Structure 1
């Protein structure tokens, strides 16, 4: 059996990046963790790669992604001497938009849909900075060839798909993304995708595209809530493509906003601002409620960038749009209300260094949060408790954490699970206090 040849391409890139083998391994492990993948690479792993061994998937794609981030340009697996090039990625530093290609995004549906017996297909997709380079509204778009097959679904089929966003949104809000994301992914792949390839009248086809875009957005949000960031990014891009083909600037803007929230969570600040600005620009003609929804995220992303002038101005604009909207209308995607605005006000205040203002805004958000939004309530309580503890208000923080643990009992969300881990880490230095010890003992038991 012949020995593998040393990987000189990888070695040259490692030198260019000024990384040690251990630093490269840590970067890959962090990128994997973004996607819900646990890897334990170390400098020995890197030595094996340099000697010519090819890491198992998704290792090559993870390596390409971390080098792309390091250099601000696209590095493919072929550039790394790992054979398979990454498709259609462009350098994030130049923000060159890619044309919308709905059919290309739809081909991913069946690959991402959970397969029996374990349903693990959603795990393993790599989050890509280059994939955040998307066009604004209206995007460059060439309609795909219209299908000519014999299947003609009826209006009842279209209405059934249109009813699904509200159903899945309600389940997500009450139980978290971990409960229904597999079901929604399978529904998109095995029920919606065949309908999109069927023969329909133009009006029916447009209605189907808009409903499918909303379902893709919800699936992205569920994956994001369950910390599957690579899969979430694929579904966000699919939502963009379907909204573009369906001519829905509203749903296009909402998907851009979702991508901004995800980028901000992962620490990609510049991209988050770019995406939220694109969302607001795409949503200039939408209803006031959704304009408030879009401006709230732009305010938060500007606060992360320490834009002390425009962040509060943007949040004030969101508040004015919300006042113009009157009574909040129920919507499966893009729903917004005063509790959400107060949460974003708190995030903005915290990023700008106003911890007390953030605590006050989160307290208001908890009081205003609708009862059916259990996951959002838990997220808000966890954030409030952390800020109270940082402000030296330990007794208040412990009481808030207990409320958080009450709220989490019915939730399936890795975002919530991570909040429990953060709770333990933040309170462990005070565990000799009886109230803290009781709290920590409660976190040791799984939720009922």
Structure 2
């Protein structure tokens, strides 16, 4: 016997709607969702109040309807339904902006509440292909359109917060501060997207929201929560399209390309990087272009295409040579010699070119040290250690490995932990050598804590 759904009853009372009115609004919303077959009546609402769980996507539609009525986000979780389709819904690149707003708001709430279904959400390599295609086609076909009548001051406040959260990620790692950012977005940013705006304010707000939603995805990525990260990135891409900022959308695709390659889908990673380059067009950001070429090189190295990977590195360096920092957007601040040389070091590491990998790793390490960037320094020290192992120089690899450990202890980043674990695997051929045993002993506490 089912128990009455008191949560739904409470929210329905707060909305001021009758059973009949809720059913009517669900029918109308279902049309927007492309689900015209959903035709509930007052009797169906009575059954839900009695404890019957409707099938998806009805709970999500009910959540949207009640959210619109009360003026802020209410989720299926709040309404007493099962977790709903938040994890799957946020993989979709929806043409309807209102549905995008609700999808990303649901995702943020689930993230802050640490819902188990979101933590278990898998990364789906092919899920990125549709969004990248839609973004590219819509970006190339964009033209100004008139908009209806939030203030620019509100948007400026949001953009000012971005720099602070980006610094937190760069210097402390993605595992530090993400939930604070998610709560800030839930309370202050996503609600603004539901309000009316002048057209210039709307675009500026979508741009600010896209930047910070991307940062949420990147922080989740750096913390090893790849299913969550992918969902934030897809919704960020949709918000970037709405902002008409092609460079920002290309930047989001760079993050998606990086993730796809890291998780064993370099072919998809390359395609995403190429889509980003194609979408930049006349809006080219040299820094973003340098990043996209660097990430394409990473994918090509995984595909063992030495010639094309080396060519992509050359293109990345040429693009970065055209960068004028004062002309770049704030989110591009991390694309600098410390980052790019680190990525190139990993490319040549994967190609087995130990000498070139070492050259780039050392350049990255020097820049990261000057900037006090522990995460980047740790990953480049790991690349340096691998270059030594490829030349069978265990003593030099051990020294670089210990520096990797020391820097990794200063940040909360799963990528640093993975770099340490990679070094442990690469040292296995050296057997029970005392330096291997020493590195494993010193790494044990860091890896166990993760």
Per-residue deviation, residues 11-40 of structure 1 (Å, max 9, x unmatched) = xxxxxxxxxxxxxxxxxxxxxxxxxxxxxx
Match of 1:131 in 2: 127
Per-residue deviation, residues 318-368 of structure 1 (Å, max 9, x unmatched) = 212211225687754233222323223223323333233222221222122
2:103 to 101, 108, 114: 108
C-alpha distance in 1 between matches for 2:432 and 2:378: 26
The question of 1:243 aligning with 2:243 is answered no
Summarize the Cα distance change of 1:292–1:188 in structure 2 as closer, same or farther, 3 Å threshold.
same
C-alpha distance in 2 between matches for 1:414 and 1:228: 9
Point out the more displaced range, 209-218 or 281-290: 281-290
Residues 408-447 of structure 1 aligned to structure 2 (within 5 Å): 408-427=408-427, 432-446=432-446
TM-score by length of 1: 0.70
Are the equivalent residues in 2 in contact too, given 1:177–1:222 (CA < 8 A)?
yes
Q: Rg bigger for which structure?
A: 2
Residues 9-48 of structure 1 aligned to structure 2 (within 5 Å): none
Match of 2:393 in 1: 393
Match of 2:295 in 1: 297
Match of 2:209 in 1: 212
Structure 1 gap segments, 5+ residues each: 1-83, 91-96
* Structure 1 position 428, deviation (Å): 5.6
Point out the more displaced range, 365-374 or 417-426: 417-426
Match of 2:403 in 1: 403
Match of 2:383 in 1: 383
Q: Classify the secondary structure of the residue corresponding to 2:138.
A: coil
Q: Classify the secondary structure of the residue corresponding to 1:290.
A: helix
Q: Classify the secondary structure of the residue corresponding to 1:444.
A: helix
Per-residue deviation, residues 135-154 of structure 1 (Å, max 9, x unmatched) = 253427999x9998xxx944
The question of 1:366 aligning with 2:361 is answered no
The question of 1:273 aligning with 2:257 is answered no
Summarize the Cα distance change of 1:416–1:328 in structure 2 as closer, same or farther, 3 Å threshold.
farther
Residues 53-132 of structure 1 aligned to structure 2 (within 5 Å): 100-113=95-108, 119-120=114-115, 122-132=118-128
Per-residue deviation, residues 281-319 of structure 1 (Å, max 9, x unmatched) = 112332322222222222222333333333322221221
1:223 to 220, 223, 245: 220
Per-residue deviation, residues 161-211 of structure 1 (Å, max 9, x unmatched) = 111221111000111100112122222223211001112222111111111
Are the equivalent residues in 2 in contact too, given 1:138–1:244 (CA < 8 A)?
no
Summarize the Cα distance change of 1:429–1:130 in structure 2 as closer, same or farther, 3 Å threshold.
closer
Per-residue deviation, residues 378-436 of structure 1 (Å, max 9, x unmatched) = 12212322332232111111111111111112211122223333344444665754444
Point out the more displaced range, 177-186 or 249-258: 177-186
Q: CA RMSD in A?
A: 3.5
Summarize the Cα distance change of 1:299–1:441 in structure 2 as closer, same or farther, 3 Å threshold.
closer
C-alpha distance in 2 between matches for 1:436 and 1:306: 29
C-alpha distance in 2 between matches for 1:351 and 1:442: 26
Are the equivalent residues in 2 in contact too, given 1:256–1:276 (CA < 8 A)?
yes
* Structure 1 position 87, deviation (Å): 6.2
C-alpha distance in 2 between matches for 1:357 and 1:177: 29
C-alpha distance in 2 between matches for 1:445 and 1:173: 23
Structure 2 gap segments, 5+ residues each: 1-84
Summarize the Cα distance change of 1:109–1:146 in structure 2 as closer, same or farther, 3 Å threshold.
farther
Match of 1:283 in 2: 280
Match of 2:304 in 1: 306
Are the equivalent residues in 2 in contact too, given 1:375–1:408 (CA < 8 A)?
yes
Summarize the Cα distance change of 1:139–1:421 in structure 2 as closer, same or farther, 3 Å threshold.
same
* Structure 1 position 117, deviation (Å): 9.1
Are the equivalent residues in 2 in contact too, given 1:112–1:185 (CA < 8 A)?
no
Summarize the Cα distance change of 1:114–1:271 in structure 2 as closer, same or farther, 3 Å threshold.
same
C-alpha distance in 2 between matches for 1:328 and 1:263: 31
1:200 to 177, 197, 207: 197
Match of 1:346 in 2: 345
C-alpha distance in 1 between matches for 2:326 and 2:430: 42
Per-residue deviation, residues 245-289 of structure 1 (Å, max 9, x unmatched) = 110101110011111110001111221111010011112332322
Summarize the Cα distance change of 1:224–1:345 in structure 2 as closer, same or farther, 3 Å threshold.
same
C-alpha distance in 1 between matches for 2:174 and 2:89: 29
